Structure 1
Amino acid sequence: MGYQFALLSQDQAETIAYTWHYDDDYAFYDMEADQDDLAEFLDANQRGQSVFAITHDAELIGFVSVTQSDDETIDIGLGMKPDLTGKGGGRAFLTSILNFIEATYAPRRVTLAVAAFNERAIRLYAACGFRQTGSFQQPTNGSVYDFVRMERKESPQNL
């Protein structure tokens, strides 16, 4: 039982890109909202060995992209299946991702960026040990949006 991680297949990428649609303001995260992001996500060569499907009981429930920024830092991007969001499963989902990252890459630091309006995600990240380290603006989805940078350092007992 639990979550399983495997490289994202083309079928899974297409399922996420074309069938995962979020409600209200969260539609910002629809893959089809930005054609450049969509093309990159659908290109197996660009995904390479860095985007993983997350399944539970053989059901695709999420994905995580992993980029090694330097010898000690892993940057992640993640998404959860829309009908599972906002129902209290985020902490277990994120914890499984962090456990996978730590077991696979052993980073000293994990970083991510989140849209500033997504207070629900920011609270979740903070509850899982991330702290805000800055902000920036980024063009996406046909406009420019504010993002928050967050970082989680390895716990002192593991250093």
Structure 2
Amino acid sequence: MISSPVTFHVVPMESGHGEDICQWDYQPPYNIYGWMPWKQMQELGIEFGDPQLREEQYVSVINDQGDLCGFAQLFPMEGVVRLGIGMRPELCGQGLGSSFMNAIVKKALARYPEREIDLEVLTWNQRAIRTYRKSGFTITDTYEKRTPTGEKPFYCMVYDPTQRQS
């Protein structure tokens, strides 16, 4: 657990951040959150490998020293902005989730003030669900969704600022 407070800043995602993220190695069962190699993402023009999509939807989360700590996708939908979130693997489980999420939510509210904020999370990912709950998200739906390893159950969680825990 990191003892001193960490301040997170949300900035535009740079190409180098995307390359770094593609090298992150999550331990099972979290390895489902890994990305394909950077060069392949660029060649296919998918996700943050597409410069336009990276500029429009992706942000990097850095600390005061400018170190890349994570990223978020702010995916605009009808009346909603859906968050996709990733934290550097070695920072997971260190008690940083709430401040990390709060920085991302603040950015989403600034960019899309009129939209609801939600996210999807695999139902087994209790570590993330605890963090999302502390940050003001509540489970509103459960459904099956296709993943690289088949159909899996997901929760949809919606942000409600009145539910934030200190």
Partner AA of 2:71 in structure 1 = F
Match of 1:65 in 2: 73
Match among 21, 25, 28 for residue 24 of structure 1:
28
Unaligned runs of 5+ in 2: 1-5
Cα distance in 1 between the residues matched to 2:139 and 2:100:
20
Unaligned runs of 5+ in 1: none
Partner AA of 1:132 in structure 2 = I
Shift of 1:80: 0.5
Shift of 1:154: 4.8
State the TM-score, normalized to the length of structure 1.
Answer: 0.84
Alignment size in residue pairs? 153
Report if the CA contact (8 A) 1:52-1:65 is conserved: yes
Output aligned runs, 1:115-134, within 5 Å.
115-134=122-141
1:23-74: CA deviations, max 9, x gaps? 12011111139x8899433222333411001111110001011022234x22
Match of 2:3 in 1: none
Cα distance in 1 between the residues matched to 2:154 and 2:48:
20
Q: Percent identity?
A: 27
Cα distance in 2 between the residues matched to 1:96 and 1:39:
25
Output aligned runs, 1:55-94, within 5 Å.
55-56=62-63, 57-71=65-79, 73-94=80-101
State the TM-score, normalized to the length of structure 2.
Answer: 0.81
As a proportion of its length, which structure holds more helix? 1
